[in-house]
Amino acid sequence: MRIDKSRALMSRALGCVLIALVGLALVPLPGAAQTAAVAAKAALPTASPEAVGLSSQRLERITSAIQKSVDEGHLAGGVTLVARHGKVIYLKAVGDADREAKKPMRTDHIFRICSMTKPITSVAVMMLYEEGRLMLNQPVADFIPEFKNMKVLEPPVPQDRTSPAGALVDAKRPITIRHLLTHTSGLAYQDNARVGKLYRDAGIDGGITHHKDTVGDAMKKLAAQPLLFQPGDAWEYSLSVDVLGYLVEVVSGMPLDRFLHERLFEPLGMNDTSFYVPKEKAARFPRAYSFFPGKRLEPILDGQLLYDGNSAYTADYPYAAPGTYFSGGGGLSSTPEDYFRFCQMMLNGGHLNGVRILSRKSVELMSQDHVQGKRLDGGFGLGFGVVSEPRFLTELGSLGTYDWAGFYFTRFIIDPKEDLIVIFMSQLHPDNGLRLDHKVIGLAYQAISD
């Protein structure tokens, strides 16, 4: 009897322990861990177009427009996502991912988003800014000493945009982090008429080829090249955001790919966004195509190196390159659904599904014009183009919309006034003057019916 009673007490105690352990397993994860887990598993919120004030019938004009370009041989295929009031209302693939193999385009294909990387890297910089680890008006040389004592070409842009590199003068002021975020640093790309040859001779390119070194190595080489103008005096689309990507590495002590994965992609559930993809995901890339003037649509083959003017590019860099060069200005690949999560976070004022990435004030600052007319065809914020004045509103849209596009024919807009996101992704460069990306955005606006 005494033994049976002891066994019963022991069994009861073990039961209590098991119940307690189960209870602990069911307790929600605390803080950021909980919200990150929720965000990562959250399905995309969807609704009918009519539920958020758009016309289903009119949205189908997007489908027709893309199909027309496919039928005419200007494009292999593409995917469009339209969302309003936080709900995805249109997500459709048209055409082929690989025309020659007759593989249809899918909405979960992974696209080379190239310069649509820039807004993401800019957000990473702002995250560090919010942590007090840097200031926007701080010289980047405080973190990357190679950018001290910069030289500037004479005469500077915009007085002279085409003369070869010649006389040099000292920079009147240092390059700041704000200059880099707004492309007013004086840096350029390798296709620039004045400094492009210097960049090419130094082994500096746009980040979409097979690099064997790191972005830090390349940015130190970039710092040895002359600037096109005095920092802050003009606007020139440039490698500034590649410098910012390296800045994130220096300040955070983490490689850029790891920082973005841990601090941004994983919390937002952007599971298919990365610089380099594992082999099992390589088959999800659509074939990239070229459409040079006077020629027909041609597939870009793996291992093929192409030139657009002086700019070199490949299509297989996300899965065939060494995987060590994290271009903050152009190296990421993503899906329409993943990029929607990023855009919706911005449109929400810095948070998504309970995960706070930025403060509302930082989003407001990033989406305001900071270049005061220096960019000829629009305003520019901290990492985004901005429709800042009525004269820049040349198609359907809204003042205050912010956006950007990518080298391989991708584009997005975030419209706070209409609470609207439009994302278009294809894989084409050059596009031979095809403005389908702009047309798709206009067709999304014309579907508004409320």
What's the pLDDT tens digit per position in 344-384?
Answer: 999 999 999 999 999 999 999 999 999 999 999 999 999 99
Contact 76, 70 (CB under 8 A): yes
Per-residue buried b or exposed e for 419-444, using 16+ beta carbons within 10 Å of the residue's own CB: bbbbbbbbbbbbbeebebbbbbbbbb
**pLDDT on residue 6:** 41
Q: Give the span between the Cα atoms of 91 and 108, in whole angstroms.
A: 10
Task: Give the amino acid at 101.
Answer: A
The alpha carbon dihedral of 163, 164, 166, 172 has a sign of: positive
Q: Is the pTM of this model over 0.85?
A: yes
**pLDDT on residue 165:** 67
Exposed/middle/buried for 128, CB within 10 Å: 0-12, 13-18, 19+?
A: middle
Identify which of 69, 121, 438, 114 has the alpha carbon closest to the alpha carbon of residue 308. 114
Exposed/middle/buried for 333, CB within 10 Å: 0-12, 13-18, 19+?
A: buried
* CATH for 133-252 (1.10.10, 1.10.287, 1.20.58, 1.10.3470): 1.20.58
Question: Which DSSP letter does residue 365 get?
Answer: H
Q: Where are the domains of the chain?
A: 49-120+256-445, 133-252
How far the first Cα of the chain sits from its last, in Å, is 79
Residues of the chain short of pLDDT 50, as ranges, are 1-40
Question: Which DSSP letter does residue 262 get?
Answer: I
Residues in the chain: 450
Identify which of 247, 404, 93 has the alpha carbon closest to the alpha carbon of residue 412. 404
**pLDDT on residue 388:** 95
User: Packing angle between helix 56-71 and helix 436-445, nearest 10 degrees?
Assistant: 170
What's the pLDDT tens digit per position in 110-136?
Answer: 999 999 999 999 999 999 999 999 999
The alpha carbon dihedral of 272, 277, 278, 284 has a sign of: positive
Indicate if 133-252 has the same CATH topology as 49-120+256-445.
no
**pLDDT on residue 42:** 67
Task: Give the amino acid at 311.
Answer: S
Does 3.40.710.10 match the CATH number of domain 49-120+256-445?
Answer: yes
Phi–psi pair at 88, nearest 5 degrees: -80, 125
Assigned token pair, 269? 């559930």
**pLDDT on residue 155:** 83
